[in-house]
C-alpha cells in the first residue's frame, strides 16, 4: 500500500484578488510535484478582526498600490481582471456551496472554485448572490436547486464557520495562504517559494 | 553626452527585516541592468499612521508568521538573522547619519546603509544609539565625531522628515519599497518582478 501524497492546502477568500491570481497556477505548481490541491475557502473578514487588519481596498495608500498591482499582475499573466462594483463582497454563499459540493460531488469542487473566481473577477458576476452561485454550480454539472437548498442548510453554514475557525487556529490570517507539509506560506508572491519548498523538501 | 541611467529607488526603514533581506541583493539586481541604486531610508512608523497599519511584529498571527518567515529567508539565503531585543527600534539616528553621509561622502553611503542593517539584524547592535551609528560610520572611513555632530543638526533632522514626507506623497507605505522608472513595487517578494520589469522595460 502506498499512502496518497499530502495535499498542498490552498486557503483563500473568494473575494481576494491575490487568491484569484494564485488560483490560476496553484494546480500546476502542485501537480509538478505530484501533489493534489486542497481548496479551502474561509471568511477573511473574521481573520481581519483577529489581526486588526482591514481589506486592502479600504486601506489608504496600500489600496491604491494594490489596485495598480492587480492590473499589472493581470497584464503579466494575460488574464482578465476587473474589480467588481461594491468589492469586496462577502462570499458566504460561494463558500457554503463549495463545501457542500466538496462533500457531495468532490470531483467538481475545484472546478467550481476556479469558475467562481472567474465569475467574480473576470465576468462581473455578483457571486454573493445564491442564485449566481447556483448557476456556476450548474455549469459544473450540479443541479442548481440542490445547491440553492444546500446554501441555506444550517449544517453547511456551520461548516464554513468551522473551517474559518480552523484557519484562525492554524495561524492563517490572509488570502491566499498555503500550507505544505505543515509549513505556512502567505501570499500569491510566495508561490515560487512553495514550488521550491516542494522541490527541496524544505530547508 | 549620454544620460546617466535612472536609479532603482530602494525605500526602507532600517528596522525592517524584509528590507534587510532586500539589502542583500538589490545592488546585484540593479547592476545586472546597469542601474545604480538610490538608498532611501524613511520613517516607516509615520507611514503606518497614514495607513492605520502596525508593525508586523506587533500584529497577532501575522507577527508569528513573519518571525517564522524571516528565519526561513535567512536559512535560504545563508545569512545571519536575529531579531534584536526591543525590536522594532526607531532608526532616526541611522537615517539621519545616512543622509548626511550621502551628501558629504556619497561613495560611502550605501556601504554605511548595508553595514547598519548588518549591525542591527546580524550583530545585535543597538543602532538606535548615535554612538553605535557613529561607530559604523567610522568603519566606513568617516570621522565618528563628524557623524555624531551631524545626527544632532537641525538641518539633518529636517532632511529625514522631508524624505519621509516624500515617501508618503509618492504612495510609499511599506518597507522595502522599490520605484523603477516611476513604477512602484512593494515588498522583498517583489524583487524578481523588479528584475523582470528592468529586463522587459515594463508590460
* pLDDT band at residue B1 using 50, 70 and 90 as cut-offs: low
Strand order in A8-12's β-sheet?
A37-41, A8-12, A177-180, A183-186
Q: Is the CB of residue B191 less than 8 Å from the CB of residue B26?
A: yes
What residue in A sits closest to B171 (Cα-Cα)? A61
Angle at B142 between CA B137 and CA B148, to 5 degrees: 65
Q: What is the pLDDT of residues B44-99, one digit of tens each?
A: 998 888 877 777 777 888 899 999 999 999 999 999 999 988 898 899 999 999 99
Q: B10-30 pLDDT, tens per residue?
A: 999 999 999 999 999 999 999
Contact A61 B47 (CB under 8 A): yes
Q: How many CB atoms lie within 10 A of CB B134?
A: 21
* B190 part of contact set with chain A, CB < 8 Å: yes
Q: Does B174 touch chain A (CB under 8 A)?
A: yes
Count CA atoms closer than 13 A to B202's CA, side-chain side.
Answer: 9
Calculate how close chain A gets to B170, using CA atoms only, in Å. 9
The whole-angstrom distance between residue B133's C-alpha and the CA centroid of its chain comes to 14
- In B64-83, the residues whose Cβ lies within 8 Å of chain A are 64-65, 68-69, 72, 75-76
Return the SS3 of B102.
helix
Residue B45: predicted pLDDT: 92
Give the whole-angstrom CA distance, residue B75 versus residue A33: 23
The confidence score (pLDDT) of residue B58 equals: 77
Contact A171 B64 (CB under 8 A): yes
B56 within a domain of the structure (yes/no) = yes
How many CB atoms are located within 10 Å of the residue A92 CB? Answer: 18
- Rounded to an integer, what distance in angstroms lies between the CA atom of residue A112 and that of residue A134? 10
Here the CATH number for the domain that contains residue B34 is 3.40.30.10
Side-chain-side CA neighbours of B173 within 13 Å: the count stands at 17
Q: Three cell numbers at A48? A: 481581519
Instruction: State the pTM of this model.
Output: 0.95
Residue ranges of A 98-137 with Cβ closer than 8 A to chain B = none
Look at residue A43 in the predicted model and tell me its pLDDT.
Answer: 96
Residue A143 falls within a domain, yes or no?
yes
Contacting residues for A157 by C-beta, under 8 A, at least 6 apart: A92, A96
Residues (pLDDT < 70) of chain A are 1-2
What is the distance between the alpha carbons of residues B132 and B118, in angstroms, rounded to a whole number? 12
pLDDT recorded at residue A15: 96
Residue whose grid cell is 550605501: B110
Q: Tell me what pLDDT residue B147 has.
A: 98
Rg (CA), chain B: 16
Question: Using CA atoms, how far apart are residues B14 and B120, in angstroms rounded to an integer?
Answer: 8
pLDDT of residue B55: 76
Q: Given this model, what pLDDT does residue B123 score?
A: 96
The answer to whether residue A156 sits within a structural domain is: yes
**What pLDDT score was predicted for residue A1?**
57
d(CA B197, CA B29): 11
* Contacts A–B by Cβ distance under 8 A: 65
Cα distance between residue B131 and residue A163, in whole Å:
52
How high is the ipTM of this complex? 0.93
Asked whether residue A2 is assigned to any structural domain, the reply reads: no
Q: CA torsion sign, A123 to A125 to A130 to A132?
A: negative
φ, ψ of residue B52 to 5 degrees: the values are: 75, 10
Find how far residue A70's CA is from the centre of its chain: 16
Determine the structural domain holding residue B74 and report its residue range: 8-200
Q: What are phi and psi of B171, to 5 degrees?
A: 85, 15
What is the distance between the alpha carbons of residues A59 and B3, in angstroms, rounded to a whole number?
38
Query: Is A137 among the domain residues?
Result: yes
Question: CB under 8 Å to A90, separation ≥6 — which residues?
Answer: A15, A43, A45, A128
Instruction: Judge whether B2 lies within some domain.
Output: no
Number of domains in chain A: 1
In a domain, A111, yes or no: yes
Residue A97 lies in a domain: yes
β pairing state of A183-186 and A37-41: unpaired
Q: How far apart are CA B65 and CA B57, in angstroms?
A: 9
Amino acid at each position: 500500500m502506498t499512502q496518497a501524497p499530502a495535499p498542498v492546502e490552498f486557503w483563500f477568500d473568494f473575494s481576494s484578488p491575490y487568491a484569484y491570481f494564485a488560483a490560476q497556477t496553484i494546480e500546476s505548481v502542485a501537480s509538478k510535484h505530484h501533489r493534489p490541491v486542497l481548496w479551502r475557502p474561509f471568511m477573511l473578514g473574521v481573520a481581519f478582526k483577529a489581526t486588526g487588519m482591514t481589506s486592502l481596498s479600504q486601506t489608504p495608500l496600500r489600496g491604491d498600490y494594490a489596485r495598480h498591482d492587480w492590473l499589472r499582475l493581470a497584464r503579466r499573466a494575460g488574464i482578465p481582471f476587473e474589480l467588481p462594483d461594491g468589492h469586496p463582497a462577502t462570499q458566504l454563499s460561494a463558500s457554503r456551496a463549495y463545501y457542500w459540493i466538496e462533500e457531495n460531488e468532490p470531483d467538481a469542487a475545484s472546478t467550481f472554485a476556479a469558475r467562481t473566481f472567474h465569475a467574480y473577477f473576470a465576468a462581473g458576476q455578483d457571486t454573493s448572490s445564491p442564485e449566481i452561485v447556483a448557476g456556476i454550480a450548474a455549469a459544473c454539472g450540479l443541479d442548481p436547486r440542490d445547491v440553492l437548498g444546500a446554501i441555506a442548510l444550517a449544517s453547511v453554514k456551520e461548516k464554513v464557520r468551522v473551517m474559518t475557525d480552523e484557519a484562525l487556529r492554524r495561524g492563517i490570517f490572509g488570502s491566499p495562504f498555503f500550507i505544505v507539509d505543515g509549513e505556512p506560506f502567505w501570499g500569491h508572491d510566495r508561490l515560487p517559494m512553495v514550488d521550491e519548498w516542494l522541490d527541496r523538501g524544505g530547508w
